[in-house]
Structure 1
Amino acid sequence: MPFVPLLFYALAASFTPGPNNLMALDGARRIGLRKIFPFVLGISGGCLGVMLLACVFNLVLYRWIPGIRLIMSVLGSGYMLWLAIKIWRSTGAEEQEELHKVYSFRTGFWLQFINPKLLLYAITVISAFAIPYSTSPFQLVVVSLMLSLIGLASSGSWAAFGALFQPFLSRHERAFNGIMALLLLYSAVAVWF
């Protein structure tokens, strides 16, 4: 298994902006690093689930990619558009209870199963870097765990950035919300290209 190319690909794909990282950043800014941690763990758990499914169903998915990609693209784009609207309309502190629901472990976990970036990443990384070199269940689980830990580090880093710069970001909340909403809108549209 070509470990170094796998690692570089995983780092580049995981640390670039996407729904997970943008939501981790925004959530930490709004509710703090400690309170966003369940969401970040949910992202990592969902990532592991998606990676394991990609391992198990890789050959079947390749045959069905056009149909699966269309369904996941519609669901993922719709969800990202909904998130963009929620962030754009956000006014701040009066929404704290709703924010705790949005940034929960369960939301972070299930987001992964409709996250087009992660789904395409999982299919690509497993099919290009894992399955051709080993079909050992143990090795596939180890690769899936490694990729999930990289995802945890990525979302955790974005959340830490959001918490660290929270005072600055709060002073410029309207502009920040607009930028985050536009980035999510871009992510939703980019799925189709």
Structure 2
Amino acid sequence: MSLFALVSYAVAASFTPGPNNLMALDGARRWGFRRMKAFVAGVSAGCFGVTLLACLLNLALYQWIPGVRIVMGVLGTAYMLWLAWKIYKSTGNVAEKEMTLAYSLRAGFWLQFVNPKLLLYAITAVSTFVMPYHPSLPQLLGVSALLGVIALFSSGSWAAFGALFQPFLKRHERAFNGIMALLLVYSAAAVWI
């Protein structure tokens, strides 16, 4: 297994815009980096979980991949479109309880299981860089942990960016919300392209 190739792929795929990174950016813009730590940790834990499942169920998924991909694509697309609508319509005056639920560790974790970008990323990484080399259970756990750590850094970086530019982004909230909503719509459409 080429660790450099796996890490290169993982970094390129993880740091590009997607639901995790856009939500981390938006949440940190609204409430600061500190309040996004739980969400970012949930994203990382969810990435670990999805990757581990991809490792352990890779052969079964290959038999069912067309059906699984369509179902997860529909669920993920619907979720991303809903997120885009919520961000676009947001005025910044979101209730504390709603913010806590939307940007919680649990939300970050479960988002990974309907995030088509991550599902395809994990399946591709595992099937291309891991399974051809007859991996052992410790290797599968290690790869899953590695991809989870990379997810922690990518979502954390987007959250840090949101917090760093918080004053600027708050001044231009309407335009920013529109751009974020359009990026999420693009992410949803990219699942089908």
| Structure 1 residue identity aligned to 2:167 | P
Alignment of 1:1-193 (within 5 A): 1-193=1-193
Cα gap change, 1:131 to 1:97, in 2 (>3 Å): same
Mapped to 1, the partners of 2:101 and 2:112 lie a distance apart of 16
- Gaps spanning 5+ residues in structure 1: where? none
RMSD of the TM alignment (CA)?
0.8
Mapped to 2, the partners of 1:4 and 1:100 lie a distance apart of 38
TM-score, L = length of structure 1: 0.98
| Structure 1 residue identity aligned to 2:171 | R
Segments of 4+ moved more than 6 angstroms = none
Identity of matched residues, %: 67
> What's the CA shift string for 1:140-180, capped at 9, x where partnerless?
10011001100100000000000000000000000000000
Mapped to 2, the partners of 1:36 and 1:135 lie a distance apart of 35
Alpha-carbon distance, 1:97 to partner = 3.0
Q: Are the aligned partners of 1:52 and 1:144 in contact in 2 as well (CA < 8 Å)?
A: yes
Q: Are the aligned partners of 1:25 and 1:161 in contact in 2 as well (CA < 8 Å)?
A: yes
Q: Are the aligned partners of 1:134 and 1:140 in contact in 2 as well (CA < 8 Å)?
A: no
SS of the aligned residue for 1:20 comes to helix
Alpha-carbon distance, 1:95 to partner = 3.1
Mapped to 1, the partners of 2:135 and 2:94 lie a distance apart of 51
TM-score, L = length of structure 2: 0.98
Cα gap change, 1:151 to 1:94, in 2 (>3 Å): closer
Mapped to 2, the partners of 1:5 and 1:94 lie a distance apart of 42
Mapped to 2, the partners of 1:119 and 1:92 lie a distance apart of 31
Q: Are the aligned partners of 1:31 and 1:96 in contact in 2 as well (CA < 8 Å)?
A: no
Alpha-carbon distance, 1:101 to partner = 1.2
Mapped to 2, the partners of 1:7 and 1:38 lie a distance apart of 24
Q: Are the aligned partners of 1:81 and 1:188 in contact in 2 as well (CA < 8 Å)?
A: yes
Q: Which moved more, 1:166-175 or 1:130-139?
A: 130-139
Mapped to 2, the partners of 1:50 and 1:133 lie a distance apart of 20
- Gaps spanning 5+ residues in structure 2: where? none
Alpha-carbon distance, 1:94 to partner = 4.2
Mapped to 2, the partners of 1:66 and 1:135 lie a distance apart of 25
| Structure 2 residue identity aligned to 1:175 | A
